[in-house]
Structure 1
Amino acid sequence: MCLGIPGEIVELLPDRPDLATVRVAGVRRAVNVGLLGPAEVGPGDWVLIHVGFAMSKIDEAEAAATLALLDGLGQAYTDELDALTESDIT
């Protein structure tokens, strides 16, 4: 199963405008934000992440609701978080 997981942008990487550090369930990872455009997102924004790419910008309420739903999925969500923890696109 492939999931889109909400994450909060912590910072945009100054030397890589297509990458941002994003916090997802306590894990910080570089995520490609190039699909959204450099002026679309910034620190504090929430994005929906799939396979290392921010696919869309979402609001905090939608992020919280999605995280609650994903938490209820159990192992599928845990597997996605494990994959995210092990990933590195820098």
Structure 2
Amino acid sequence: MHYLENVATLHLDVETCIGCGLCASVCPHGVFEIIAQKAQILERNRCMECGACARNCPVNALAVKAGVGCASAIIHSWITGEEPSCDCGTGQSGSGC
């Protein structure tokens, strides 16, 4: 499942990663895989920005702005039926999703 293309706020600092695998274990959409004893982002567009990976990383190698951005705006619009507004658009209405 992909949410939106190229909008996830997910960031991985590979140098800091210790390869524990917790991110891969807790991610509900299989965004991560451990390769050569380091986490790798397999498919950034699967990220729903829940923040489970960042909350469980013991060395803070992951960062994600959970509940913000386009993914959150789209999900909110699905639930409420309102137009999505993520403030990343053209600067006019804020709807760029």
Q: TM-score range by the shorter chain?
A: under 0.3
Structure label with greater radius of gyration: 2
The TM-score normalised by the length of structure 1 is 0.28
The TM-score normalised by the length of structure 2 is 0.27
- Greater strand content: 1
